[in-house]
Structure 1
């Protein structure tokens, strides 16, 4: 994998904006998504809010928050399977205050690096939306993601 062909793939992809020499910001999700190109490796990191960070007007019980995170963690363990390369690490999934941080690294097909990174970001976003628990009133970004999901399936 050559740096120039991977970089070119990210420069041409509409879902990424360059933010530094070898760093790109994901523009297609309300979550904080970044991609760093390091030699022949693409490192993807996505920060999503926890359930309690998007619930408005009430607090989420610790047992519900813990169960929600554990379920999300189990679902996100497959995030690496959506990439076309086999040279990919399973994701690291961690809680960091009011955020869940998902990160993984891959290398392989230089011309598919940006598409693989976007597939991973989309998988993380979709999996997070699927984990929304009915019965709570939600703020952003949950409300806009749920609204967008409803519009796409109507």
Structure 2
């Protein structure tokens, strides 16, 4: 690992669901690409960056989605993701938060600093799971979903990872 403090490397390396990947760790317990990097921060703190890459609404559907729906979905998704610190028992204050369109993907980035490595790992996992859960809750009915989003819908409607694509999870 490049630039990852040794104590952070130990905790994330031992934590179930996280695997070393590039200059940080990937979370393998979600369908979306969630990654965490860590660098030395001020004093006793470590700076963390959690990045989640999810498909855009248009990329997740086989149908053509109108610009008003695409923009409305994106704006709502962005607003709902601001509440991520409430998704964990760890008191986390975000240093920065962004949601950006990157071609066919939506990239969500959270930056925060914490002193406890275990708490930081718990927060990172909760953040990635929150993005995925918020995405699923915001699925717009009436479209034919494909790929990862169709798989998530199948899991939500059948209670497992196998089965046929059913309705929306709510």
Under a length normalisation based on structure 1, what TM-score does the superposition of the two structures give? 0.88
| Matching residue of 2:39 | 38
Q: Are positions 1:142 and 2:137 aligned together?
A: no
Q: Which runs of 5+ in 1 are unaligned?
A: none
Partner SS state of residue 28, structure 1: coil
| Matching residue of 2:123 | 116
| Matching residue of 1:12 | 14
Which segment is superposed worse, 69-78 or 141-150? 141-150
- The 3 A distance-change label for structure 1 pair 88 and 4 is farther
Q: Which runs of 5+ in 2 are unaligned?
A: 41-45, 161-168
Partner SS state of residue 59, structure 1: coil
Q: Determine the C-alpha separation between the residues in 2 that align with 1:86 and 1:28.
A: 22
Under a length normalisation based on structure 2, what TM-score does the superposition of the two structures give? 0.81
- What RMSD over aligned residues (CA atoms) do the two structures have, in Å? 1.9
C-alpha contact 2:95 2:113 (8 A) present in aligned 1 = no
Q: Determine the C-alpha separation between the residues in 2 that align with 1:132 and 1:87.
A: 28
Q: Determine the C-alpha separation between the residues in 1 that align with 2:129 and 2:48.
A: 16
Deviation at 1:46, TM superposition (A): 0.5
Deviation at 1:87, TM superposition (A): 4.0
| Matching residue of 1:104 | 110
C-alpha contact 1:78 1:90 (8 A) present in aligned 2 = no
Deviation at 1:104, TM superposition (A): 1.1
Comparing both chains, which one has the higher relative contact order based on Cα–Cα distances under 8 Å and sequence gaps of 6 or more?
1
Q: Deviations over 1:113-137 (max 9, x none)?
A: 2111000000000000011111111
State how many pairs are aligned.
Answer: 150
More helix per residue: 1
